[in-house]
Chain A
Amino acid sequence: MKCTKSKRLSYTEKAQKIVASLTLEEKVSLMGGNVSFESMMEDLMDDPDNKHYNFVPYDAGGVEKYKVPPMLFCDGPRGVVCGNGKTTCFPVSMLRGATFDIDLEERIGHAVGKEVRGFKGNLFAGVCINLPYNPGWGRSQEVYGEESFHLGEMGAALTRGVQEEDVIACVKHYAFNQMEISRFKVSVDCNKRTEREVFLPHFKKCIDNGAASVMSSYNLYKGVHCGHHDYLLNQVLKDEWGFDGFIMSDFGWGVRDTVEAANGGQNMEMCCTEFFGEKLAEAVKDGLVPESKIDDAALRIIRTLIAFDEAYDRICDESVLGCKEHIALALEAARKGITLIKNNNNLLPLNKEAAGRIVVLGRLGEKEVTGDHGSSQVHPAYVVTPIKGLANVSPKSEVVYYNGEDLGHAKELAESADAVIFVVGYDHDDEGEYVATELDKSYTGCIGGDRQYSLGLHQDEIELIRIIGPVNKNSVVVMIGGNMIMMEEWKDSVSAIMMAYYAGMEGGTAIAEIIFGDVNPSGKLPYVVPFKESDLPQVNWDTETQWYDYYHGYAKLEKEGIAPSVPYGFGLSYTAFAVENTEFKASEDAVIASCEVTNIGDRSGDEVIQMYVGFKNSAVDRPVKLLRGFRRVSLEKGETRKVEISCPAEELCWFNPKNGRMELEHMEYEVYIGTSSANKDLHQGSVAL
């Protein structure tokens, strides 16, 4: 990486010189977006299809006479939000999380970085790593899964990839932002251990991996707006973690008060300047904000921008946008992330030659669904729907689609079919960025929000699957959605189930390739599926206060001795893998587990080997076990490979509230290696540290 932290710090002196020569007004001008709310609204009214949110990079700051470029903001994460019909629409982060493929996420980072430059931007605000405390969070699709360690690894990979293209990666939303409809008003609270062990480690990991920008969240933490939060911004992020880059606020409602925000450590008000700008200069003159705060913000902004600007020594023009290579990468991600959950009697893959009539039922079968319609909506040239994918991948099949509304007709079709595929789940109205409940007040043009009422499918979809599923024994459910979808009411009505998430512009292709066996599925669920919603931590979605417990997700279920319906890290393949000859050892500062994996089935495939560490011997309350390493391996039929996974000891620390430090317990740790978080899929050993 050319623009590492140390490289950036080498620009400190140059940046300081520029800061010293700027007037207060000039310095303050760096600290706010140059976009006006009125012009944004005008664009939206004028031509909502083309002049959509972020159709061009949004700029902030910039000082021409010192060659300080403006910050040029491009949103994400499922690609670059700018333009229309040009960009690549990748699968959402949740699907990419299901790939457990660090290398792939880094390559996506490169592609996205190039496209940001192709749109003449210089910052990508798509490293979204909030932890879905409850999977009903409407924007969980923008993050990688429920597990802090995994979120951090994937976020760090995207950060590296983007920044290697000399584009600033912006990590968001810092912090505790995992409730959508209450995001402007909710104050989150939790104890210190929860904060440090569950909700902050993934942010720290991205900073440790060089992220040069952070976006503060809308919500409050312990009663203080995160965009004003002295503790989170100044004390933790800048001082403790040594963050050298700049912070920006979330858009529009991220800064609420000039003085509190500036003193709290906010560096840049986005994307319109309302509380900063002149008001901030006034506050400095009135002695309410020390000028040193302004100098620090200006230094951070200038240093980061000139470092990246100088590193960017080539030209990415529009030819990189949605290019063949990037679309191939979007397809690769979809192929690797889509997760096969059930496959009774090896129904899948369907035989292309034998599968004559494929009946597709469910509203989403013919829809171009790529995720929410909020700030993460990207605008690709095309989207392959599930039915298009099926027809393209198996041109000899007769692909017949019906939305499924009339059960009698659906039954007739199902009876006539060689296989039935239900495409069910969510779109942008069910979950996603939320602005208002009334459509005309919403710039997203959809409802979105959290899944407040149910984590299951729509009632009519449940009924469709329950009644029509048993009609044809070759029935498959394809679920579309951004996070865990409950399956208990209908899972026994069909032979096969796969989770397709929001699989991007080539999603329909990948779904079909897996159904017809051109691609061997290899995704793993980055969340646990419980038998009951009440097994998960409960939240009040429309609230001003919310407490977060220490336990959530698979760690909560396991701690409470509740069996999951589908374990975290689970996913089926068309081949089979054997894990043998496991070894567990500790070095001075790491835990190492290794095994030999053999593909014992009859076709090539990928497996994700996972390492968990257990804390049964802990003197304090800790999870039974946590994911602390993973590696994706590709194996030819019959091939064996040794896989070694190492986890630094610091990843095993707990936060000692007595001394306020992350501490390593010196004890015997259980170490597990295998193919999911379920004990039956794991081999267990132990190591002492």
Chain B
Amino acid sequence: MVAAESYLFEAIENRVKYPAKVFLASIDHSGFHWHYEYELILVLKGKVLVNFDQKPVILEAGDILLVNSRAVHEIYRIEEADNICLFIQINQNLFNDFRDANQTYRFYLNSKLDTLKPKRGFEHFVHMAAQIGLAAIDKNETTPYRIKGMLYLFIADLYQYAAYDIYQRASEAAEHENMEILMNIIEYIQIQYRDKNVLKNLYKEVGMSEKSVYRLLKVNIGYSAKDLVLARKLDMAKYMLKYTDKPISFIVDECGFSSANSFYRTFKMILNITPNDYRKYGIVLKDNQEIKGYLGFSKTEGILLLENIVQGR
């Protein structure tokens, strides 16, 4: 069974040519989630709370925080005021490009902490992040080159000026291959979660036994395939409850729950709210593509705020 504070994972798709996703957003509530990408959050306006490393921090305009690869975190707006944040989600492989593939790096870049300040100060990283943010907005054929170059600069400066721990894995672990399999498993579940035989088919699809898949997932993300299927079903149900008028009986079926009873029971247990109440009062999710709850905001204002940083205004 999934624990009450079920962690979700966010499959960040990098369809663009550079290994990062850069965007401005206004955050309502993301729920707990994790992803392989390193996620840099730069607050441009308002306040957000980030639950990270079991220590909630409140980030205000000008604050910067790097959420490490695979770190479970949640972000939500505090106070009624609007917020605008820049997110830079960097593919973790970029960090290993010139280093050992069996290492994971955990950086300490959090402008709300008094310890482990980067040697060049937070302003340096804030400035670089804003530059990347601006460069990503103007999309033309040079953008991917520019962004990739800037990301490398950013990573180089992280290695040089920020404190970090290295998590070293054994060579035999063949971590790289495992990561690919892991991504395949997650992707398969994302698509096939409705199928009753999703897990059986999954084992066939990836050519691994139930036990091996279990071990791989437990070691890397701490959840079983079953947990992931359920999390996905609930996500879908939440979306349909909020944005469609479909009757619950339809949603039960559509999201692959075996019965209305089990749907009600599971939903209440995990989300601590009944499906009906959720339909009435639940938090707003803008769309189902992202797990984050993004709010509408003025993109122009975001760009202006980025320009202010870059130009030192």
Specify whether A and B are partners.
Answer: yes
B163 near A387 with CB under 8 A, answer no
Return chain A residues, CB-CB under 8 Å to B169: 391, 395, 399
Contact in complex: B108, A409 (CB < 8 Å): yes
Whether A409 and B115, one on each chain, are in contact in the complex, defined by CB atoms closer than 8 angstroms, is yes
Of the candidates A366, A395, A409, the one whose C-beta lies within 8 Å of that of B166 is A366
Residues of A close to B102: CB separation below 8 A: 388, 391
State which of B58-66, B120-128, B170-178, B251-259 sits at the interface with chain A. Answer: B170-178
Residue with the greatest number of chain A CB neighbours at <10 A, chosen from B102, B164, B170, B173: B170
From the candidates B165, B167, B171, name the one contacting A392 in the complex (CB within 8 A): B171
- Interface residues on chain A, size class: 10 to 19
Known: A402-B165, A409-B163, A413-B165. A388 touches B116 (CB 8 A): no
Chain A residues 386-410 with CB under 8 Å of chain B are: 387-388, 390-392, 395, 398-402, 405-406, 408-409
Of A399, A406, A408, A413, the residue contacting B168 (CB under 8 A) is A399
Question: Are B172 and A392 within 8 A (Cβ)?
Answer: yes
A408 to B165 Cα, complex, angstroms: 13
Q: Do B163 and A388 touch across chains, with their CB atoms under 8 A apart?
A: no
Are B166's CB and A400's CB within 8 A? yes
Chain B nearest CB from A510 CB (Å) reads 15
| Most chain A beta carbons < 10 A, residue from B102, B168, B169, B172 | B168
| B163 and A402 contact, CB distance less than 8 A | yes
**Quick one: closest A residue to B164, CB to CB?**
A402
Q: Which residue of B lies closest to A400 (CB)?
A: B165
The verdict on B100 contacting chain A, using a C-beta distance below 8 Å, is yes
For A399, what are the chain B residues with a Cβ–Cβ distance below 8 Å?
167-169
- List of B residues within 8 angstroms of A409 by Cβ: 108, 115-116, 163
Partner among A388, A400, A405, A408 whose Cβ is within 8 Å of the Cβ of B167: A400
Interface string of A362-392 (1 = CB under 8 A from B): 0000100000000000000000000110111
Complex CA distance for A410 and B185, rounded to whole angstroms: 37
A401 and B100 alpha carbons, distance in the complex (Å)? 13
What 0/1 readout, one digit per residue, does chain B (106-146) give for beta carbons within 8 Å of chain A? 00100000011000000000000000000000000000000
The answer to whether B168 and A387 touch across the interface, beta carbons within 8 angstroms, is yes
Across the two chains, which residue of chain A brings its CB closest to B100? Answer: A388
- Measured between beta carbons, the chain A residues less than 8 angstroms from B168 are 366, 387-388, 390-391, 399-401
The CB with the most chain B CB atoms within 10 A, among A390, A391, A400, A409, is that of A391
Cα separation A387 to B171 with both chains bound (whole Å): 11
Q: Which of chain A's residues have a CB closer than 8 A to the CB of B165?
A: 400-402, 413
Instruction: Report yes or no: B116 in contact with A406, Cβ–Cβ below 8 A.
Output: yes
- A243 CB to closest chain B CB, in angstroms? 48
Provide the residues of chain A in CB contact with B170, threshold 8 Å: 391-392, 395
For A390, give the chain B residue with the smallest CB separation: B168
Residues on B with C-beta less than 8 A from A366 are 166, 168
Q: Is there an interface contact between A395 and B172, defined as CB atoms closer than 8 Å?
A: yes
Within 8 Å CB of A395, what residues of B?
169-170, 172-173
Q: How large is the interface on B (under 10, 10 to 19, 20 to 34, 35 or more residues)?
A: 10 to 19
In the bound assembly, the distance between CA atoms of A366 and B165 in angstroms comes to: 11
The complex places the Cα of A564 from the Cα of B282 at a distance, in Å, of: 75
- With A and B bound together, what is the CA distance between A405 and B116 in angstroms? 9
* Contact mask for chain A residues 151-162; partner B; CB cutoff 8 A; 1 contact, 0 none: 000000000000
Q: Cα distance A395–B167 when bound, in Å?
A: 12
Establish whether residues B167 and A398, one from each chain, have CB atoms under 8 Å apart when the complex forms: yes
Q: Which of B116, B166, B171, B173 contacts A401 (CB 8 A)?
A: B166
Residues of chain B contacted by A388 (CB below 8 angstroms): 100, 102, 168, 171
Q: How far is the CA of A357 from the CA of B169 in the complex (A)?
A: 12
Distance, CA A402 to CA B169, complexed state (A):
15
Which residue of chain B has its CB nearest to the CB of A398? Answer: B167
User: Which A residue sits closest to B171, measured CB to CB?
Assistant: A392
A367–chain B nearest beta-carbon distance, Å: 12
In the assembled complex, the Cα of A614 lies from the Cα of B66 at a distance in Å of 66
The chain A residue sitting closest to B115, CB to CB, is: A408
Residues of A within 8 A of B115 (CB): 406, 408-409
- B82-102 to A contact mask, C-beta < 8 Å, 1/0: 000000000000000000101
Residue numbers in A under 8 Å from B172 (CB-CB) = 392, 395
Asked, given contacts A388-B100, A391-B102, A392-B172, whether A406 binds B167 with beta carbons under 8 Å apart, the answer is no
For A398, list chain B residues within 8 Å (CB).
Answer: 167
**Min CB distance, A176 to chain B, in Å?**
43
Q: How far is the CB of A415 from chain B (nearest CB, A)?
A: 14
Q: What mask results when residues 405 to 435 of chain A are scored 1 for a CB within 8 Å of chain B, else 0?
A: 1101100010000000000000000000000
- CB B24 to nearest CB in A, in angstroms, measures 32
Which chain B residues lie closer than 8 Å to A390 at the CB level?
A: 168
Q: How far is the CA of A387 from the CA of B170 in the complex (A)?
A: 9
Cα A405 to Cα B115 with chains together (Å): 12
Q: Complex formed: what's the CA distance from A408 to B116 in Å?
A: 8
Whole-angstrom CA separation of A405 from B164 in the bound complex: 10
Q: Mark B159-203, 1 if CB is under 8 A from A, else 0.
A: 000011111111111000000000000000000000000000000
Chain B's closest residue to A395 (CB) is: B170
Distance in angstroms between the alpha carbons of A15 and B172 in the assembled complex: 56
Q: Write the nearest CB–CB distance from A482 to chain B, whole angstroms.
A: 25
Closest Cβ–Cβ distance, residue A95 to chain B (whole Å) = 23
Chain A's nearest CB lies how many Å from the CB of B90?
21
Residues on B with C-beta less than 8 A from A402 are 163-166
Residue in B closest to A394 when the chains form the complex, CB atoms: B170
**B contact residues around A406 at 8 Å (CB):** 115-116, 163
Q: For the complex, what is the distance from the CA of A401 to the CA of B105, rounded to whole Å?
A: 9
Considering only CB atoms, which chain B residue lies closest to A405 in the complex?
A: B163
- Residue of B102, B169, B173 ringed by the most chain A CB atoms within 10 A: B169
* Nearest CB in chain A: distance from B166 CB, A: 4
For B108, the chain A residues whose CB sits under 8 A away are: 409
CB distance from A356 to the nearest CB of B (A): 13
CB proximity of B145 to chain A, nearest CB, Å = 26
Residues of chain B with a CB closer than 8 A to A401's CB: 165-168
**A400–B169 Cα gap in the complex (Å)?**
9
Of chain B, the residue at the smallest CB distance from A396 is B170
Q: How long is the Cα–Cα vector from A406 to B169 in the complex, in angstroms? A: 24
**Complex-state Cα separation, A395 to B163, whole angstroms:** 25
**A388 nearest CB across to chain B (Å):** 6
The CA-CA distance from A290 to B167 in the complex, in Å, is 68
Residues from chain B with Cβ under 8 Å of A391 in the complex: 102, 168-171
**Chain A residue with the shortest CB-CB distance to B106:** A400
CA distance A590 to B172 in the complex (A): 53
Which chain B residue has the least Cβ–Cβ distance from A399?
Answer: B168
CB distance from B109 to the nearest CB of A (A): 13
User: Which residues in B have their C-beta under 8 angstroms from that of A392?
Assistant: 170-172
Output the least CB separation between B101 and chain A (Å).
11
Interface string of A53-64 (1 = CB under 8 A from B): 000000000000
CA distance A399 to B167 in the complex (A): 6
Bound CA–CA A390/B171 (angstroms): 11
A49 vs chain B, min Cβ distance (A): 14
Chain A residues, CB < 8 A from B166? 366, 387, 400-402
Q: In the complex, what residues of B have CB within 8 A of residue A387's CB?
A: 166, 168
Give B283 Cβ to nearest chain A Cβ, in Å: 35
Compute how far the CA of A497 lies from the CA of B102 in the bound complex, rounded to whole angstroms. Answer: 28
Closest to B104 in A: A400
Instruction: With both chains docked as a complex, state the minimum distance between the C-beta of A471 and any C-beta of chain B, in angstroms.
Output: 16
> CA of A406 to CA of B114 in the docked complex: distance in angstroms?
12
A residues in contact with B171, CB < 8 Å: 388, 391-392
- Please report the C-alpha to C-alpha distance between residue A305 and residue B37 in the assembled complex, in whole angstroms: 61
Nearest chain B residue, comparing its CB with the CB of A366: B166
Binary interface profile of A, 332-372, with partner B (CB < 8 Å = 1, else 0)?
A: 00000000000000000000000000000000001000000
Listed A/B pairs (13) with beta-carbon separation below 8 Å: A390-B168, A399-B167, A400-B165, A400-B167, A400-B168, A402-B165, A402-B166, A406-B115, A406-B116, A409-B115, A409-B116, A409-B163, A413-B165
B-side interface residues toward A, CB under 8 Å?
A: 100, 102, 108, 115-116, 163-173
9 additional A-B pairs beyond A401-B165, A402-B163, A409-B115, beta carbons within 8 Å, are A366-B168, A387-B168, A388-B102, A391-B169, A391-B171, A392-B172, A395-B173, A401-B167, A401-B168
Closest 9 CB pairs of A and B: A395-B170, A401-B166, A391-B168, A387-B168, A399-B168, A391-B170, A392-B170, A402-B165, A400-B165
